[in-house]
Every structure is written in structure tokens, then in C-alpha cells.
Structure 1
Amino acid sequence: MGPASSFVLPVREYLLVALIAAVVTFLLVGLVRAMAFRLGAVAYPRQRDVHVQPMPRMGGVAIYGGVLCGMFVAHQLPVLRAAFDFSNDPWGVIVAGGVIVLVGAIDDRFELDSLTKLAGQVTAAGILVLFGLQWMIAWVPWDGGATISLDQNQGALLTVLLAVTMINAMNFVDGLDGLAAGIGLIAAAATAVFSIGLLVERQGAVEAYPPALIAAVLAGACLGFLPHNFNPARIFMGDSGSMLIGLMLAAATTSASGKINQATGSAADLLGLLSPLIVVAAVLFVPLLDLLMAIIRRTRRGESPFSPDKMHLHHRLLEIGHSQRRAVLLIYLWAGVLAFGAVALTLFDPIIVATCFVIGLIVTFVVSVIPRLRDARSKS
């Protein structure tokens, strides 16, 4: 890379690869939809479902196709090629993504048991580690906020745990038309904005290119899939799509902060280390909370944590009185406020950001409970 004074922020290049991923995904959906019907990868309505007609799955195959094309274009661009020349992170995402999409596509057709899917998720996460995409340093909150260096085994374990958690969080939240695709878009866009901010802060340091590329390509692919998937949906992304989104978000997060190998223990260094996790934790707060509540709820009933039910957050919003579209848009709003609030916290004055963040949360909460307030008022 050239000297810091000659660094030019490659925003247009990132927008280009995101646009390519969006267009290719959008065009591939028709082919994948026909293939899903031919192969029998169809979701027939069940008691816990909200759709009433048979719906083709395997939409994740189209999303992965968009990701591949976006990565290919990035590899041909002189500036973004640095993400491939100085790191194996993009290659790791391509290979691991192919494995998780294959596992998900098989599940979309044959409905694999939970242990088999978990094995596939761990395998995909392990591939990320094999390509060098893993955590090398961790924060220890019970030791005065200190950071510790991880050996190869510890870093690999943390990386696999984070990836599997995010994969299942996105998988659990995929219950309404457009929900997982929209949350994936918001999460990836927020992560991309943050990662581009790292490029500015580090004046074009090559380690900041891969996370921005991974997030930008994922955001584009989700955007291209959303028109086909928003209510009324013409296709579901299935496990092949939701698991791919979770894997790529975990990869972008790990690529952004997992490889920091120097830390002085200062507040600035600690914020730099934790901010990618803060951003992703914020945007995934809704699906992670839904995942945690589902595990607790099912375990207390003596059931498997992976057994299905109709008590997810989106189901509860429907019970309150929101339509499918409004429930999805509300979850988008919650995710957007949390995600971009966290991003803004790393870029702008914390007091101003905190004020706007609180106002946004209040407005979102009021909008969410309006149907319940109307019911209580009509009964009084």
C-alpha cells in the first residue's frame, strides 16, 4: 500500500461489489426457485408456520451465488485485491460458505436432524480457522478489563463457538417473510460501515480490507434476495441462507478484531478491540435474545433446545396485533437502532449518540406496543 498521505478510501469499490452481489442474487432467485420445486425442497404449511401455501426453499443458494460473484469482482479490482493478497480471510469465507450452504440445502430438502446440522456448522467454522480466520486476543471482564493473548487452540475454540452461535441465532430468527434477509442486510451494512471506519482510522492498513469486503458482499446479496422474500414471499432462504448469513457475520467480526496482536491495555485499545463485537452484538441482540429465550423455554419444558414451537419474538408480535409486514418492519427498526447506534458510538461524540439512541429506543418501543395499548383502551 502507498503512504498514509496517498490513501484514498475505496467506498465506490465496496459499493460496486455490493451492487454486483445484489444483482446476481436477484437474477439467480428465479433459477433456484424452479430448482427447489424440481428437487422437492418445498416448505409445506405446518401448525407453527405463518405461511399458508407451499413455498420453495434453498434461497441461500442464490445468496451464495451473489457472494461468489461479488468476491470475484473484488478480486479483479486493484484496490480491493489487497483483501486477497494479504489475507486468506475471503478465501476462508468462500470455502466455509460453500460447505454451510451445502449442508443447509440438504436440510432444506431432507430436513436433517439437529446433531447433523450442528456437525456441519462446526465443520464450516473449523474451515474458517484453517484459513487463519480466528481470534488471537480476548477481553477478560472479571480481571479489571484486561486482555489476554490466546494460543492457537483457545483462539480456534472461541472462533468456532462464536460462529456456531451466530449461525443458530440467524437460523432461529428466520420465521417471517423477509425477516432474516432484512436483519442480515442491516447487520452486514452496519459491520461494513464500521469496518470502513477502521480503514479511515488505520489509513488503509491491509488488515482492515477483508472485514469490509465480507460485510459489503453479504449486504449486497441480502439486498438482492429481499425483493423475492418480503411479504408476500415467493421463496424462502431456508437453512442454506440463514446459516450462511450467520457464518459470514461471524467471519466479518473475527476478521475485524480477532487478529489484533498488540494491546497496551488503554481504553482506546480496548474500545478498538471490542467495538466490532459491540456492533454485531447490537444488531444480533434481537435474534440472540430470541435464541436464548427459546432454549430456556424448551429446556424448562423438558424438550430439546432445537425443538420447534410458535413462541418466538415474531410470533408474539403477531399475537399483539401487528400484521406480518409490520412485525418484520418493527424488528428491522429495533435492529437498525441498536446496530447503527453502536456504529455511531465508535465514530461520533458518545453523549450525542447516547441521547439519539435513547430517543430511538423510546420511539421504537412505543410503536411496538401500540396495538396492545389500543386493545387495553378499547376494553376499558
Structure 2
Amino acid sequence: MSLIAMAIVPFAVSLFVCGLMIRLGPKDAPDGGRKTQAAPVPSSGGVGVLAGMAAGLASLALMAPSVAETLVAAPIAGIAGFTVFAALLGWADDVFGLPALTKLVALLGGAAAAVVIGPQPGTLWVDGAAVTLPWALGAFIAVGFIFVMANAVNFMDGANGIAMGTSLIILAALGLMLVPSSVYSSADQSPGILMAMCFIAAASLAGFLVWNLPGKLFAGDAGSLSVGGLIGGASVMFAINGPALVPLTLCLPILIDVFLTLAWRARHGRPLMQAHRDHAYQLLLRAGWSHGKVAWLWWGMTAICAGAVIAGPFASAAGLYGARSWPLDVIVFAALLIAGCGLWVRQRVTLGRELLASGR
């Protein structure tokens, strides 16, 4: 029965509602520059993803009444509340076009409210050791990561399948690592419900991708902001009781491109608040790569990160290797960070210069 609630129901509802959004949703028109579609494409597919998540959680609550109690209590309520808030904010932007600064301020306020409700990290686990944080510092880190992930997924949502497919892999991996209770020090039901939320969100994204991969529907800000916020909130909650670098490692394919691109634009005096085509994935699209090929590349990199953390620091933290002698979470994170940054720089030096020289 749990398989129905966590996979079949959210997938089917998301698939159906996304199909409705193709007919009823706002249209994302081409702009002759950053947007690559030749004609207006229905957007706000994130509404379908959110509907799938709501249906999956409702089904789970009907099977186990305690689920509903956990959903409306801290810390899950903070994560769920921000996901809904970000979806509504994104939908408003999809329909009415909100100023960028207004959207950023609203997201920051929403992230702060989510952390006030919960989760509130007082401890982070690095290399098996607990690092105690003052409440203010822990809250600052939590708000910052939720805010950053909401925007980062939004920045990466410029090619069919790349942002939402990558998010699906991240959420599925987080859900998988939330299964063994030995990773957690708490005895409440929150990790179990968070696990269900991750799997339900992944199934909902799969329903959306059926329409998105052929280019029939975009997620819009309603999808990218809410899914990114969910990843951020789930990562913070995971880090409170599990290896803190694990969710950060999972998000590296997104975060490396976003932060290095912003740094590159700042170094060249280009406005950071302006839409552009300078991300690594956008360079590949400009060079003639198909959306599918670019998406598969990012999915592959994310799958490598997921495999590395599951086989390395997570397995070690779960006690599968017995006594540890190496800081696997630090080693895996550092190795993948260095490799990812190296690939980004190499592409910028080679393909970036080639595109600049040819005027593409």
C-alpha cells in the first residue's frame, strides 16, 4: 500500500494535472535570446508536481493517521510550508511576471519563516563528529541553504529535463538514505515522513517529465522554486542527524555551475540579476547539443555523486564498514568538488572561447 501512496498516486496525479496545465497554464514565450523554444510553451508544470505530492501525502495520511499529525508539526511543517509558498510565488511570477528583487526578498522571508518553524540545526555531523552550532548560526546556515537551492534549481531550469530530472535523482537518493534509522539520533517520525516526501516528490517529478522531455510543458518558477526549496529543506533536516556533506555532495552538479557562472559574470562586470546564457549547460545548447543530451549529462553527473555518497560516507555512517579510519564524507565531497570545478573551467576555456569567437 505504501508503494501506491509514494509512487503510483503521485505519478498519476502529476501526469494528469500536468496534462491539464498544457491546456490551461500560462505560456512561456520565446525572447529571441536566453529562451530556446521557437514558439510559446505551456508553463507552470510545477502545479502538477505539487498536486502529485499533495495527493501522495494525503494517501499516506489515510493509511496512517499519525502521518497527518507529523506533517503539521515541526520540523516537517516548515519544509512543507515553504514548498507550497515557493510554488505559489513561482506561479504568480509565471502568470504576472514579478520583479526579480521582489521574488528574492519573498523567498528569503519564506525560508526564514520555514526555519523558525523547523528545522533548526543545532548540530552538524562531519566525519562522524558532532559540530555544535549556536542557534543563530545554525538558523543562518539553514535559511541560506534553502534560499540558495530554491534559486539554484531555478537558474538551472533552462533545458528540458535538466533541472527537474536532476532534482528527481537528488530527492530519490535522499529518500533512500533516510530509510535506515541507524543514521538518525532522533526517535520521532520526522525522518520517516521526510523519506516519504522525497520519494513522493520524485514520483511526481517523473509524471511531469513525461510531458517535459518532449518539450510540451515547462516547470516554470512554480516548479523550480518549490522543488529547489524542498531539496534545501530536506538537506538541512538530513544534515541535523546525518553526514552534513552528503546532501551538499548530491547537489554539486547544480551548485558548481550556478556559483562558478555567477563568479565568472561578476569578474567580467556582467549584471548578476539579468537573465543570460552563460551557464555551462547553456554553452552546450549554444554549441548545438540537444536538450536530451544535456539532460543526460547532468543526470549522469548527479548519479555519480549519489553513488559516491551512498557507497562512501553514507555506508560508513550507517556502520556498514565497521570502524572508520578515513573521513570519507570529506574525501568524497572534496574529490567531486575539485573534479566538477575542473570540468567547468575546462569547458569555459575551450568551448566558451570557441562560442565567443564564432558569435554564438
Q: Tell me which residue corresponds to 1:268.
A: none
Residue 120 and residue 15 in structure 1: after superposition, are their counterparts in 2 closer, same or farther (change >3 A)?
Answer: farther
**What's the offset of the Cα at 1:329?**
0.6
Contact 2:49 2:204 in 1 (8 A): yes
SS in 1 for 2:131: strand
2:90, 2:222 within 8 Å by CA — same for their partners in 1? yes
Report the equivalent of 2:150.
Answer: 167
Structure 1 equivalent of residue 358 of structure 2: none
Matches of 1:173 and 1:124, distance apart in 2: 21
Of 271, 278, 302, the residue aligned with 1:311 is 278
The CA deviation at 1:342 is 0.9
The alpha-carbon deviation at position 316 of structure 1 amounts to 2.4
Report SS of the residue matched to 1:308.
coil
Alignment partner of 1:241 out of 211, 216, 223 = 223
- 1:81 partner SS: helix
Cα separation, 2, equivalents of 1:219 and 1:67: 9
**1:67 matches 2:53:** yes
Q: Is the 8 A contact 1:211 1:253 kept in 2?
A: no
Residues 43/203 of structure 1: CA separation in 2 closer, same or farther (3 Å cut): same
Distance in 1 (alpha carbons) for counterparts of 2:161 and 2:94:
17
- What is the root-mean-square deviation in Å for CA atoms of aligned residues? 3.4
Residue 31 of structure 1 aligns with an amino acid whose one-letter code is L
Distance in 2 of aligned mates of 1:210 and 1:131: 16
Distance in 1 separating the partners of 2:48 and 2:235: 23
1:118 to 71, 90, 104: 104
Residues 1:199 and 1:185: Cα distance change in structure 2 (over 3 Å):
farther
Output the TM-score relative to the length of structure 1. Answer: 0.77
The answer to whether residue 79 in structure 2 is matched with residue 93 in structure 1 is: yes
Amino acid at match of 1:337: I
Amino acid in structure 1 at the alignment position of 2:10: A
| Counterparts in 2 of 1:83 and 1:216: CA distance versus 1, 3 Å | farther
1:13–1:80 contact (8 Å) kept in structure 2: no
Q: Given the alignment of the two structures, is residue 51 of structure 1 paired with residue 33 of structure 2, yes or no? A: no
Shift of 1:331: 1.0
Contact kept in structure 1, 2:5 and 2:57, CA below 8 Å: no
Query: Is the partner of 1:147 in helix, strand or coil?
Result: strand
Match of 1:182 in 2: 165
Note closer, same or farther for the CA distance 1:221–1:189 as it changes in structure 2 (3 Å cut). Answer: same
Matched, 1:324 2:291: yes
Of 80-89 and 109-118, deviating more is 80-89
Match of 1:147 among 121, 127, 131: 131
Q: Pick closer, same or farther for the CA change 1:203–1:116 going to 2, 3 Å.
A: closer
TM-score by length of 2: 0.81
- Larger radius of gyration between Structure 1 and Structure 2: 1
Q: 2:236 aligns with which of 254, 257, 275?
A: 254
Moved more, 242-251 or 88-97: 88-97
> Which residue identity is paired with 2:299?
Y
Question: Using the alignment, how far apart are the partners of 2:298 and 2:173 within structure 1?
Answer: 15
CA contact (8 A) 2:70 2:190 kept: no
- Once residues 300 and 60 of structure 1 are traced to their aligned partners in structure 2, the CA distance between those partners, rounded to angstroms, is 34
1:34 aligns with 2:23: yes
Q: Is 1:14–1:216's contact at 8 Å kept on the other side of the alignment?
A: no
- Does 1:192 find its partner at 2:178? no
- 1:36 to partner: Cα distance: 1.8
> Which whole-Å CA distance do the structure 2 matches of 1:50 and 1:234 have between them?
13
Aligned residues: 331
Which amino acid in structure 2 is aligned with residue 20 of structure 1? V
Pair 1:220 & 2:187 matched: no
The residue that corresponds to 1:378 in the other structure is: none
Are the counterparts in 1 of residues 121 and 133 from structure 2 also a CA contact under 8 Å? no
The letter of the residue matching 2:231 is: L
Equivalent pair of 1:33/1:57 in contact (CA under 8 Å): yes
Judged with a 3 Å threshold, the aligned counterparts in structure 2 of structure 1 residues 202 and 305 are, in CA distance, closer, same or farther, namely same
Structure 2 unmatched ranges of 5 or more: 352-360
CA contact (8 A) 1:101 1:244 kept: yes
Q: Which of 22, 26, 38 is the matching residue for 2:11? A: 22
Q: Which amino acid is 2:194 matched to?
A: P
Superposed CA offset, 1:169-207 (max 9, x none) = 101111101111101100100000011123677797534
Counterpart residue type for residue 305 of structure 1: L
Greater CA drift, 103-112 or 131-140: 131-140
Q: Secondary structure of 2:8's partner?
A: helix
Corresponding residue for 2:355?
Answer: none
Structure 1 counterpart of 2:97, one-letter code: E
Report if the CA contact (8 A) 2:142-2:236 is conserved: yes
Q: 1:20 to 1:90 in 2, by over 3 A?
A: farther
Q: Distance in 2 between matches of 1:43 and 1:306?
A: 20
Instruction: Could you tell me which runs of 5 or more consecutive residues in structure 1 were left unpaired when the two chains were aligned.
Output: 1-11, 261-271, 374-380
Once the two structures are TM-superposed, the CA of residue 321 in structure 1 deviates from its matched residue by 5.1
Identity %: 24
**Residues 32 and 148 (structure 1), Cα distance of their counterparts in 2 relative to 1, 3 Å cut:** same
